[in-house]
Amino acid sequence: MAQNGTSKPRSMRGVFAASFIGTSVEWYDYFIFGTAAALVFPRLFFPESDPDAATLASLSAFAAGFIVRPIGAAVIGHFGDRIGRKSMLVLSLLLTGGSTFLIGVLPTFAALGIGAPLLLVSLRLIQGFGVAGEWGGALLIATENATPRRRAVYGSFAQFGVPIGVLTSNLAFLAVSGMDDETFYSTGWRIPFLLSAVLVVIGFIVRIRLSEPYEFARAKQRRTVTKVPFAELLRRHPRNLVLGGLAAIAPPAVGYAVTVYMLTYGTSAVGYARNTLLTLILASTSVWILAILVSALLSDRFGAKRLYIAGAITAVVWPVPMFALVDTGNAGLALVAFLVAAIVQGIMAGAQGGLFTEMFATEVRYSGISVAYAVGGTVAGALTPVYPALYAAGGSSTTVALFLCVPGLVSLLAVLGIRYATVRPEEKEPGAVAVPSES
């Protein structure tokens, strides 16, 4: 691809590595906290509560990481639009990976008392701040090097990192969950967190070699970079910012219900073995990855918005049968439940990169997609501690399932209202999409 002298040509392999590998590392860090919040933290960091209260407290610690995500997205997005995509991607990796490693060496409640859960939540907040800028930067490294007709496929590079993060985090815990309880709860659970240091080094090496993506490099060359990107974002794209945040709720809501809450619900309420659920979730990630790729290919052909609408519809429909299948206590039927849930997430994820990139101008795009994505993730994460409370109040999974349908409905209504941004006539060359305002 010619780049008009703005920077050296980018190989597809290099773009893929920078977007996919780094994102996979970040989401590994993020998801091992969710797995530990379901399996480990209630016992080690909230032991003085009754089991239900301990689970609620642990899932609340998991949700705390979402509180700062809109702030992190605004801050990292601001500097990503002002300074560049590369430096913010490296920063997000170090913040997320460093806090994950430190969680692995934290003293528990037995050793430090109330200070232990306070430190745990503090590190989770840092982790959430760092990961807030990850998706936007990784997405733009790919999509801003793509032609308009390949946006979704290139954007899927960053989306693969989410299921790979689930896969590797579950593999890490599956590897240590076979230990006897004494060993697992004393040292075994720490190993997945400590491994983060190795993964961060790999991600750092890949990202430090990056050059800025073509579209942003050209914006800097033309001196169209804005001084206050977030203010410009609010002025030019308020509608898409709000609707994008609402549209982004459904995919993580379904994901966290499966990868976090189901570990607690399935073991305590239904009676699955810990290893069984981890294995079933692990198996579903391959379908998740395939669904992202197929959805991205279809999005570039038929339109990302259409595919996202289809995915949001499935997010409304699937929660009730999903819980019904899990409630049977049959591992085969539970696997079906998780496989279909993976397809639900994959449809939206495959379309999301192309859709969100086209919603905002280059000069404010990092801020726009990061804040929208963070708002969606924050709402979805905040719902996670509500599930056990709903189950305790209703005594049935039906209440939880019906509640989980709501994020899908909200996202469906939001994406129907999203407008693609208009393209300047002079920007219609390959690899160029610049947007003055919403149409």
In tens, the pLDDT along 297-324 reads 999 999 999 999 999 999 999 999 999 9
What is the per-residue pLDDT across 260-298, written as a single tens digit (0 to 9) for each?
Answer: 889 889 988 898 988 898 889 888 988 999 999 999 999
Tell whether domain 12-427 is in CATH 1.20.1250.20.
Answer: yes
| pLDDT of res. 432 | 39
* pTM score of the predicted model: 0.80
pLDDT of 423: 43
pLDDT value at position 256?
A: 87
Q: Of 77, 130, 42, 69, nearest to 380 (Cα)?
A: 69
Give pLDDT < 70 ranges for the chain. Answer: 1-14, 421-439
Domains of the chain: which residue ranges? Answer: 12-427
Residue type, 384: T
Q: What pLDDT is attached to residue 16?
A: 77
What is the pLDDT at residue 426?
A: 35
Question: How far apart are the C-alpha atoms of 123 and 283, rounded to whole Å?
Answer: 30
Q: Name, in order, each residue with C-beta under 8 angstroms of 137's C-beta and a sequence gap of 6 or more.
A: 76, 80, 85, 88, 89, 92, 366, 370
pLDDT tens string 60-90? 887 788 888 899 999 999 999 988 888 898 8
pLDDT value, residue 9: 41
* Bridge partners, residue 421, by sequence: 438
pLDDT at residue number 1: 41
pLDDT at site 438:
52
